[in-house]
Amino acid sequence: MQLLQLQLENAKSYENAVIDFTAGTNAIVGHNGAGKSTILEAIGFALFDSMAYRQSDFVREGAKTATVTVTFLSSLDERQYQIVRRCGSSSQYYAYDPELGAKICEGKVDVLAFLKEHMAVDHTASLELLFANAVGVPQGRLTAAFQDTPSQRKGVFDTLLQVEEYKAASDKLREAAGSLRDQMQKLELALTEYTTRLERLPELEQSLAQRTMQIAEMERTLAQTMEQLAQIGAERTQLEAVQQQIADLQNQQRQIEQRQESVAQRKQQATVALAAAEQASVQVQQHWVGYETYLEMQKRHAALDQKQRQQQQIAAEKN
């Protein structure tokens, strides 16, 4: 993170001030009471939530609120952001994106989380302690922590260096290391098994070559068998066609035999009818003379009837 600009409005001795920072080291110089400490305090207040006294004492005398605006270049995404913090009769704390022209987050919890992310500080760390003991140490207090008792130094530096977090991480890594050892043992056992299998590799390769040759021979045999099956299939088709022709001829033969049987029956019936006709002809010839006499008598009888009717008609006309 690189500080680019600090704007102060009604902050202690500053009514309205804009302070620009350049890359590298920036020196804050001035006589006593010029407001050098206020600049550092304002940065700590906005970026680290650090204020060594009451916030109301940070407000310029006669004003109701004090506003601090810090513009910085993030090393996380190489973009500019502004942190705005107001205190006094009304308070406000938010992160602003000048490029988007919009607030990114608002409220102490969200803004501090945003700052930790862009400062690459662990989310469990205290920005206030980091500022008080490392970033914004007041004049004359830079070496104070080294002059404290060992227990006091431990309290300061353990917190500053996040020793407890490293211990917790170490404990977690110890568990992970144990898990890795177990995995290594399993892998070593697996490696031993694979090595044993690899020792049989030449034998297996030779067996594979033999099986490959056998498969090739079986494939050739299969091809020949398939060819023979194709020939047999063609012959079978021909035989089925011949069989169908035989069946058709047999069917025709049965029909012819049925017709012959029908003709024989008709011939027999005709023979019987002919015999009956011949017998009838003999009978006709035998009775033909009598029949002719009968016909002659019929004619005479008809003539007599005719003559009788004529006589009756004449007699009727005379009367």
> Which fold, 2-161?
Rossmann fold (3.40.50)
Tokens 């350049």 correspond to 22
Cβ contact 72:43 at 8 Å? no
Q: What is the predicted pLDDT for the residue at 318? A: 79
Domain residue limits, the chain: 2-161
More confident residue, 201 or 208: 208
Q: What is the predicted pLDDT for the residue at 288? A: 73
Q: Give Dmax over CA atoms of the chain in angstroms.
A: 199
Q: Is the pLDDT of residue 23 over 80?
A: yes
More confident residue, 277 or 112: 112
Instruction: Render pLDDT for 59-111 as a digit per residue (tens, 0 to 9).
Output: 999 999 999 999 999 999 999 999 999 999 999 999 999 999 999 999 999 99
Cα 275 to Cα 260: distance, rounded to the nearest angstrom: 22
Cα 67 to Cα 258: distance, rounded to the nearest angstrom: 127
More confident residue, 101 or 319: 101
Three-state SS at 70: strand
* Mean pLDDT for the stretch of residues 152-158: 54
Q: Is the pLDDT of residue 118 over 90?
A: yes
Cα 207 to Cα 265: distance, rounded to the nearest angstrom: 83
- Residue 154 pLDDT level (bands cut at 50, 70, 90): low
Cβ contact 133:105 at 8 Å? no
Residues in a beta bridge with 105: 95
Cα 126 to Cα 161: distance, rounded to the nearest angstrom: 11
Q: Is the pLDDT of residue 129 over 90?
A: no
Q: Is the pLDDT of residue 281 over 80?
A: no
Percent of the chain with pLDDT over 90: 34
Cβ contact 157:145 at 8 Å? yes
Q: Which of 74, 72, 96 minimizes the C-alpha distance to 84? A: 96
